[in-house]
Amino acid sequence: MPEGDTIFRAARTLHRLLAGKTVTRFESVFPALNRIDEDAPIAGRTIESVFARGKHLLIAFSGDLVLRTHMRMNGSWHVYPTGARWKRPARDMRVLVSTSDVVAVGFNVPVAEFMKARDVTRHEALRSLGPDPLGERFDRSEALRRIRERDHDPIEDALINQRVVSGIGNVFKSEILFLAGVNPFRRSASLDDPTLERILEVAVDQLKANVMTPAQTLTPSFGRRTTRSLDPREKLWVYGRGGRPCRRCGAPIQSRAAGPDARLTYWCPQCQS
């Protein structure tokens, strides 16, 4: 599943390439979107902005209309010069927004809906989101309060609950808890406020580091990195490294599947005892 950093970068790229331009073509496989397009065509509207809210990507059009999409497990947005060959088959297209020079394609996007711009802040899926580490202002005290409301949950579950903190997924969950030195299976109630604040501080630091541009970091882009290493073979501390030695202490990294989706959690039994 795409995490908050992926959605943020996608929104930033789409905004850079689309904002201020006129839609020349709109297509969708969703009947609800097509009905609105038939009644009030999207073509001819100006794309005002593209922005992220946690794991939601939103495209604002002139005429008080916003397209909300959520990627779930397999969705993604691609953008191509007009006439360029797509990297995914046309059958995977779910939403298409074209301007005179670029085509934005939402592939395998499972959730897409139009709403009025004024309804964005009132929409249940958006209104209930926890504080976003990539937002203009991250409310740590509110995030801490929401974790405390989940005191009986393991901290790993609280972190990926989008109603607690938005944008954190399975990869960052494991990486954040490793860097904070916290066992992922400890109940939130067993962690004191300074520990939870440290976890939140690491979360903000890691997500923001992973949306910086190569120009900002003055380093090549190797995709998601939490180690800050320039070696592309050493991008992550624990995620996906089950059975391999911890980069800090050498102990074998452990992994465990949990939850209805059997998502794997990775941790170091010594560094996160």
All structural domains of the chain, each given as residue ranges with its CATH number in brackets, are 4-127 (3.20.190.10), 140-267 (1.10.8.50)
Residues of the chain with pLDDT under 70: 1, 213-222, 259-260
At 266 the pLDDT is 98
Report the pLDDT value the prediction gives residue 136, as an integer from 0 to 100. Answer: 85
Active-site position among 9, 53, 55, 224: 55
Q: How far apart are the first and last CA of the chain?
A: 28
Q: Give pLDDT, residue 258.
A: 77
* Residue 2 confidence (pLDDT): 77
55 noted as active-site residue: yes
Question: Residues 30-37: contacts with CB within 8 Å, 24+ apart?
Answer: 30/94, 30/95, 30/112, 30/113, 32/113, 32/114, 33/67, 33/95, 33/112, 33/113, 33/114, 36/65, 36/114
Q: Which of 12, 45, 148, 263 is catalytic?
A: 263
3 as an active site residue: the answer is: yes
The pLDDT value recorded for residue 160 is 94
- CA geometry: angle 121, 172, 219, nearest 5 deg: 100
pLDDT given at position 217: 42
Instruction: Put residue 228 in one of left, alpha, beta given phi > 0 → left and psi -120 to 50 → alpha.
Output: left
